[in-house]
């Protein structure tokens, strides 16, 4: 790890100011950033810790949904969101291990937008809104491919508001080694229709499986997607699974998520 300065502001405004310095980078739970720094792949000159900012931590009910502060650790989401949005709480409780869940945060996960991360599928399927210190970004506009988002340099995610669907479930198939999602599917049945978001599978990061959304909006049953096929084109192919395998998982997990949704 290279040397760096460390600041821990108490407000979003102070954090934004600190982040405007050359080579400054936000630190939330550190579960991605610190290993990268230890491997000397990232060398920020100023680390701006977000974990001292109480206004971006915690869970609260908002009109028609639930708002989760960006610096809220997964363990807190798992423990406190269940009464509003069980599928989201369950997803958070299935991320990594207890140590990762105590440190890692929603904001860090979304800013990083790992193609195998769990949260992006929930955000996309829930039609959630990503709040930053500058604006509100609709989920459909936020994710822009692997490790790529609508965030601008120095922009800070402050919270995410999730619309609570009538029924929802996340089913994750673990990559055997990392236990990130080899493929994960979040199915959410909203009043206006079903959204199906897939993580782990595509070279373009999290995506919506629109054919399944149409079929499930017509009939919310696992059998509704039976006749659909998932193209393996653009699917990730690696040590742990071919593109065809991932395409298969997309369908299998979608069916399982529909069955599990409540």
Which residues contact other proteins by CB under 8 A? 1, 39-40, 173, 176-178, 180, 182, 239-242, 244-245, 248-249, 252
Q: What minimum distance in Å lies between the beta carbon of 131 and ligand FAD?
A: 10
Name the binder of 240 from ligand FAD, other proteins, none, CB < 5-8 A by kind.
Answer: other proteins
- From the CB of 117, what's the least distance to other proteins, in Å? 13
* Residue 248 contact among other proteins, ligand FAD, none, beta carbon within 5 to 8 Å by kind: other proteins
HEC per residue, the chain: CCCCEEECCCCHHHHHHHHCCCCEEEECCCCCHHHHHHCCCCCCCEEEECCCCHHHCCEEEECCEEEEECCCEHHHHHHHCCCCCHHHHHHHHCCCCHHHHHHCEHHHHHHHCCCCCCHHHHHHHCCCEEEECCCEEEHHHHECCCCCECCCCCCCEEEEEEECCCEEEEEEEECCCCCCEEEEEEEEEECCEEEEEEECCECCCCEECHHHHHHHHHCCCHHHHCCCCCCCCCECCECCECHHHHHHHHHHHHHHHHHHCC
- By beta-carbon proximity to ligand FAD, the closer residue of 180 and 186 is 180
Least distance (Å) from ligand FAD to the CB of residue 222? 24
Nearer to other proteins by Cβ, of 63 and 97: the residue is 97
- When CB distances are held under 5 to 8 angstroms depending on the partner's kind, the choice from ligand FAD, other proteins, none that residue 104 binds is ligand FAD
Residues at the site binding ligand FAD, with contacts judged by CB under 6 A: 25-33, 50, 70, 74, 95-96, 100, 103-105, 107-109, 111-112, 117-119, 156-157, 179-180
């Amino acid at each position: 790890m290279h040397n760096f300065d460390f600041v821990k502001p108490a407000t979003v405004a102070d954090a934004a100011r600190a982040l405007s310095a050359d080579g400054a980078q936000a630190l939330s739970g550190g579960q991605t950033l610190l290993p990268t720094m230890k491997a000397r792949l990232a060398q920020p000159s100023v680390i701006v810790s977000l974990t001292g900012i109480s206004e971006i931590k915690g869970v609260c009910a908002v009109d028609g949904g639930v708002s989760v502060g960006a610096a809220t650790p997964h363990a807190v989401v798992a423990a406190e969101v269940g009464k509003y949005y069980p599928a989201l709480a369950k997803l958070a409780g299935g991320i990594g291990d207890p140590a990762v869940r105590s440190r890692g945060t929603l904001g860090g996960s979304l800013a990083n937008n790992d193609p195998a991360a769990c949260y992006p599928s929930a955000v996309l399927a829930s039609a959630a809104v990503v709040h930053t210190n500058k604006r509100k970004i609709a989920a459909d506009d936020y994710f822009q491919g692997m490790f790529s988002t609508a965030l601008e340099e120095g922009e800070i995610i402050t919270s995410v508001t999730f619309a609570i669907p009538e029924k929802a479930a996340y089913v994750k198939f673990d990559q055997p080694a990392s236990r990130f999602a080899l493929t994960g599917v979040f199915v959410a049945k909203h009043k206006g229709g079903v959204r199906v978001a897939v993580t782990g599978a595509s070279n373009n990061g999290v995506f919506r499986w629109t054919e399944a959304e149409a079929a499930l909006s017509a009939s919310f049953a696992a059998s509704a997607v039976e006749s659909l096929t998932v193209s393996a084109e653009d699917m990730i192919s690696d040590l742990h699974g071919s593109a065809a395998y991932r395409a298969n998982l997309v369908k299998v997990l979608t069916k399982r998520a529909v069955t599990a949704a409540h």
